[in-house]
Structures are given as structure tokens and as C-alpha cells.
Amino acid sequence: MKHSDRIILDSKQFDLTIKRLSHQLIENYNDFSNTIIIGLQPRGTFLAKRIQEELHSINKDYSIQLGALDVTFYRDDYRRQGDPLVPNETEMNFEIENKNVILVDDVLFTGRTIRSGLDAMLSFGRPSKVELMVLINRRYERHLPIQADYIGKNVHSVVSERVKVTWKETDGNDEVTLYTPDNE
């Protein structure tokens, strides 16, 4: 970690944020029988799974379907990339017709990935309601009019800064870091 890097969520804060987001959902959805959680591939799926697990640990009666949605072919920059994007796996073993959908991603920045997720999601039906949950909301650089309904942490950053979310499932620990890449 460089001197200019800043940890904005350590593992303890990370865990508390997931608990808080879960309790916010409970406040709005006392009954989850008509609600589905969909994580955007690749990293929104980690948060979606954690939220599902936390809700179940709070109340064993909560049985919320969980999906993973790949947005690769719905991205507006899909054909502009020098290296072709490698699609992730979509795991949606249910329809979303007339369901309440909680769309989940790790970081909201420009809004383009969320727009892609909304387009991809419609392939599985028309939900009655869609809400957005993000672990990190990077403000000030939105390209599209997309706002999250559930926010783990708001981060005020400049364009040259990046947010790195590490997950214990893949990286060994839970942490969010704000950093400036070496080449900028």
C-alpha cells in the first residue's frame, strides 16, 4: 500500500456496513416473499450473497432468491475494448416478472454498468419494482441519471482516483481502498 492510499472501509467497518444495509432492507421489506436479490457480475455477486446470508442469519424465515447477472454483452463499450471482454456466468433460475428486485453492485461510479444491468435484467421478465444497492457510491462523475437506494458508503473522489474493493472470498480479506494508480 502506498502512502497516498487510504483505507475507507476496514474489515470491521465492512461487516458493519453489510449488517446496516441488511437492516435497511428489513425496514422496507418486512416480508421478502416477493423479493429477489440480483448481483451484477463479477463483484456485485459477492455483496448480494453476503446480504442474502446476513438476512437469513437475522431471520431464518427469510428465504430470498439470489441471482447473478452478467452484463458483458449489454455494455455500451463492449465493441470498443481493445481486448475482448470475457463474459461471466449468469445464474438466474427464476423469472422476475412482477417481483421486487434488489439490484446489487460493489461500486457505483458512472452508472453505465447499472444501465447495462437493467437492460440485461429485462431478459428475465418485467419486475414490479427495482431498487439499487451499492457498497460504495462514488459521487460527482455520474454519466447517467442513476442513484442508489441503499448505499454502504459515499466516497468523494476525483476522476484520477480509483476504488478497490477486496473480498475475503477472492482476496483473503474485506477492505475498501481509495488510491491513485501509478501511471496517472
130-157 per-position pLDDT tens digit: 999 999 999 877 888 999 999 999 998 8
CATH code for residues 11-73+88-156 = 3.40.50.2020
Distant-in-sequence, close-in-space partners of 116: CB < 8 Å, separation ≥ 6: 71, 74, 75, 76
Q: What is the pTM of this model?
A: 0.91
Which regions in the chain score pLDDT beneath 50?
A: 184
pLDDT at 32: 92
Residue 54 phi/psi, 5° resolution?
A: -65, -45
Gap between the Cα atoms of 124 and 96, Å rounded: 6
